[in-house]
């Protein structure tokens, strides 16, 4: 690691320990501190191990600990072409602070930069592609975690090194000494979350949002995604509950449901994973008692919309609604959105035909010709049935293929028959959980992801999932519980 700041603060305060990642390495070196453990590249889980070791050494009591929690190595990371290969994980940070505080230490938590890093050098891990880190919103979360657990906060790092964006956008090379000095003097003093240093008001971060969070009162979310959900997630993180894969994304997926259930269990509430009025009232009491401060979320905090994948954040266009109504119709719309865009007349490759005016037999004959001509696939219609599947499903329904039109109602009937064979009724009745049903749907339709992410048919032709597993699970639960 390189440092542009070589001046050592000679009169470092006694009993100062520095623990954490490469940022902690720089702070420790600049301050001449000997206590604590700092290793470059450490993530939040690894830093939690350093904290545990420090506490067990018996050196924490009475110490001032400057903690760079590993957040810089636990942020959202994507290749420059938008492929995400690491999700934000701030879950262990609250536990780090709790352990240190319980052992009698004063804790100063160091933040991260506030924007996106410039492209970093390719690595084997990124398969030779450049990569970037997205720190947006992380200082607000770290500030709230610090506030909820009795620590003070230093950040964002631009406050200590305004030129951080001219470097690698990660390390405050010219701010390590300032961080050590502020951390040494500031434990036990409210340095102010997200940007406030002693004697200075909080500033705005690169997103333009107020960098000094206010006391928060949660509203009951009206749906499974939105700013209200993001607020709940921020508070859960501040209280030490874990959202290891997705962090604050504004979506009530399985991870958030699990954290809500944990809170409900510990609070003696009905355990259902739903942040309804009772749960929100209980969270608001905790917020008031602990003085938790979090910036109110906006639409920008909702990182994934109800479709379209994580890159776009938008729903792909739906040509037309299902001819079938109710929950089954909504399920058909969900599948069709990523198979055909909802178009009953679409064929493989995006070509439109007059399929709804043809009989099922005529469509089967057309598919036979497509196969003879070497087409990549014979997929046709709103649900992209290939010839063999279309023929089998029509036979299951006892269709007269020579007289039955391949119209909207027929295409829906075929898809419903397929869904029934993989447990549609059991799923609607709650006897088959959303994850198990999603995996069955993914085996049939390539545009729908498995719970582990990606298409079950990836690598076959141009098949790929059109939506993330998190959004798919949310959508299924929305439909089933409507």
Cα separation of 394 and 417, whole Å? 9
pLDDT in tens, 362-420: 999 999 998 888 877 899 999 999 999 999 999 999 999 999 999 999 999 999 999 99
How do beta strands 106-110 and 152-154 pair? parallel
Averaged pLDDT for residues 246-274: 86
- CA distances (Å), 375 to each of 97, 105, 461, in order? 60, 68, 11
Q: Is the dihedral of CA 157, 162, 166, 167 positive or negative?
A: negative
pLDDT in tens, 208-236: 333 445 667 899 887 777 889 989 998 99
The predicted pLDDT at position 450 comes to 92
Torsion on CA atoms 30, 34, 36, 38, rounded to nearest 10: 50
Averaged pLDDT for residues 120-148: 84
Residue 265: other Cβ atoms inside 10 A: 11
Averaged pLDDT for residues 174-185: 90
pLDDT in tens, 140-151: 889 888 888 889
Give me the numbers of helices (H) and strands (E) for the chain, helices first please. 16, 9
Domain boundaries, the chain: 1-208, 213-303, 309-481
Torsion on CA atoms 399, 402, 407, 410, rounded to nearest 10: 0
pLDDT tier for residue 122 given thresholds of 50, 70 and 90: confident
3-state secondary structure of 218: coil
3-state secondary structure of 41: coil
The predicted pLDDT at position 466 comes to 84
The predicted pLDDT at position 199 comes to 29
Query: What are the structure tokens assigned to 144, written together?
Result: 């709230």
- CA distances (Å), 174 to each of 21, 23, 36, 68, 187, in order? 17, 11, 22, 16, 22
Question: Which CATH code is given to the segment(s) 1-208?
Answer: 3.40.50
Give the H/E segment covering residue 68: strand 64-68
Residue with tokens 């942020």: 75
| Count of positions (residues) in the chain | 482
**Assigned CATH topology for domain 309-481:** Lysozyme (1.10.530)
pLDDT tier for residue 5 given thresholds of 50, 70 and 90: very low
Cα separation of 255 and 304, whole Å? 15
The predicted pLDDT at position 214 comes to 60
Q: Tell me, what DSSP letter sits at residue 416?
A: H
**Please, where are the H alpha helices in 157-290?**
176-186, 227-238, 254-267, 277-290
Q: Is the dihedral of CA 159, 163, 164, 169 positive or negative?
A: positive
Percent of the chain beyond pLDDT 70? Answer: 85
Kindly report which listed range (212-216, 249-253, 267-271) carries the lowest average pLDDT score: 212-216
- Residue 331 contacts residue 425 (beta carbons within 8 Å): no
Residue 417: other Cβ atoms inside 10 A: 16
Question: Which CATH code is given to the segment(s) 213-303?
Answer: 1.10.101.10
The predicted pLDDT at position 258 comes to 87
How do beta strands 84-86 and 64-68 pair? unpaired
* 157 closest CA partner among 139, 143, 145: 139
Averaged pLDDT for residues 316-338: 81
- Residue 237 contacts residue 314 (beta carbons within 8 Å): no
pLDDT tier for residue 318 given thresholds of 50, 70 and 90: low
């Amino acid at each position: 690691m390189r440092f542009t700041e070589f001046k050592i603060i000679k009169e470092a305060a006694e009993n100062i320990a520095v623990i954490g990642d490469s940022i902690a390495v720089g702070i420790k070196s600049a301050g001449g501190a000997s206590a604590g453990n700092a290793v470059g590249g450490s993530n939040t889980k690894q830093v939690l191990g350093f904290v545990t070791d420090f506490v067990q050494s018996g050196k924490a009591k009475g110490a001032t600990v400057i903690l760079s929690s590993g957040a810089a190595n636990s942020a959202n990371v994507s290749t420059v072409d938008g492929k995400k290969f690491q999700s934000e994980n701030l879950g262990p940070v609250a536990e780090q602070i709790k352990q240190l505080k319980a052992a009698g230490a004063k804790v100063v938590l160091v933040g991260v930069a506030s924007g996106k890093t410039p492209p970093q050098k390719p690595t084997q891990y990124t398969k030779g592609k450049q990569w970037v880190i997205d720190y947006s919103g992380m200082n607000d979360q770290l500030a709230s975690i610090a506030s909820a657990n009795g620590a003070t906060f230093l950040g964002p790092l631009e406050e200590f090194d305004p030129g951080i964006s001219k470097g690698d956008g990660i390390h405050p090379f010219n701010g390590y000494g300032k961080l050590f000095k502020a951390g040494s003097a500031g434990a036990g003093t409210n340095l102010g979350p997200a940007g406030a240093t002693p004697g200075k008001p909080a500033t705005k971060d690169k997103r333009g949002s107020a960098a000094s969070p206010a006391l928060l009162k949660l509203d009951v979310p009206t749906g499974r995604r939105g700013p209200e959900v993001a607020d709940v997630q921020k508070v859960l993180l501040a209280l030490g509950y874990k959202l290891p894969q997705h962090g604050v994304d504004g979506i009530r997926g399985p991870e958030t449901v699990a954290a809500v259930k944990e809170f409900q269990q510990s609070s003696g509430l009905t355990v259902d994973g739903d942040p309804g009025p009772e749960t929100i009232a209980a969270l608001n009491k905790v917020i008031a008692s602990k003085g938790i401060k979090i910036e109110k979320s906006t639409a920008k905090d909702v990182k994934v919309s109800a479709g379209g994948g994580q890159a776009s954040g938008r729903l792909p266009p739906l040509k037309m609604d299902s001819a079938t109504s109710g929950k089954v119709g909504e399920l058909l719309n969900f599948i069709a959105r990523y198979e055909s865009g909802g178009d009953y007349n679409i064929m493989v490759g995006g070509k439109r035909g007059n399929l709804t005016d043809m009989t099922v037999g005529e469509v089967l004959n057309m598919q036979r010709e497509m196969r003879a001509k070497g087409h990549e696939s014979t997929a046709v219609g709103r649900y992209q049935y290939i010839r063999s599947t279309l023929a089998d499903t029509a036979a299951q329904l006892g269709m007269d293929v020579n007289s039955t039109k391949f119209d909207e109602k027929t295409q829906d009937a075929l898809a419903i028959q397929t869904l029934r064979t993989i447990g549609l009724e059991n799923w609607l009745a709650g006897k088959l959980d959303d994850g198990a049903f999603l995996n069955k749907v993914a085996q049939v339709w390539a545009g729908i992801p498995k719970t582990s992410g990606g298409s079950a048919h990836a690598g076959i032709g141009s098949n790929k999932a059109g939506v993330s597993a998190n959004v798919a699970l949310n959508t299924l639960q929305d439909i089933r519980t409507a």
